[in-house]
A = this chain, B = another copy of it.
């Protein structure tokens, strides 16, 4: 369904230049569909994710950040599969054809596309309540896509980056958390507005991780998903959780732990793997400039437990509320 008059010309002006220069896109935006040449010996990895006003951001959110986040959340899904992102489509509903919104939105979207050599191959623009739906196709070597279900008792659990920062950044932004340190507030807000999907690290996980998930709804909930799909449990050591200095400064140690366990929007990766792969994973982390922390181990018992200073701690289930 092609768009009309001004929408058609907006697609030409704003979306078509995001086609990039991949050699495997013989036909991009501008026909009934795009044509892509998948690489022989690879499998496709496909995800879709939307940012919706009221559910994932508030009215008036910075469009450049939205452009970045809409792509980042999909990049993170592809990274969690051990795949390399290749081709994206973008379906955008906008209440009005507002170029002063579209320009910074596309700047944020394009910068991240370009950084990871992803081509925008399909674009749809229509009037409606603000809704940004991205679909992303990646490629993994045949048989090497990493699922959530491959963790086994005895596997180590490791986490990239730090967790809790994005949720604290959002809380600061919404006035639910105060920080006396402007630089701390800026750092945490950046983690929410410009999450960095672990693309380079994720793309090489296929040979090393047996299970992976990206942390979008909080470590505790997403770890629970990985373990449930794997049919095992785990013990996580609270003292090993990677907390940023900014988060500790802004929230204090106790609240920092709650943000780390239950805050969402981190887009870090949780992986499970046999201890024999810990060294090559550390080498991969170093080579891709990715902090990586061993936070716990998988167990036969199907529960997820938190240990703090050697003592088991009760964790209240409390998810991230996505503005609800």
Contacts and interface: CB of A to CB of B under 8 A. Distances in A.
Copies of the polypeptide in the assembly: 2
Contacts of A137: 44, 46, 137
Contacts of A140: 35
A291 interface: no
A90 B47 CA distance: 10
B1 A46 contact: no
A79 to B, nearest CB: 9
A90 B121 CA distance: 17
Identify the interface centre among A133, A213, A319: most chain B CB within 10 Å of its CB: A133
B83 A50 contact: no
Nearest to A225: B2
A84 interface: no
Interface string A141-175: 01001011100000000000000000000000000
Contacts of A80: 32-33
A135 B321 CA distance: 27
Contacts of A36: 43-46
Interface in A222-273: 222, 225, 229
18 contacts: A1-B77, A2-B217, A31-B149, A32-B212, A33-B81, A33-B83, A34-B45, A36-B43, A40-B40, A46-B121, A46-B137, A49-B91, A52-B131, A53-B128, A89-B135, A122-B135, A128-B131, A131-B133
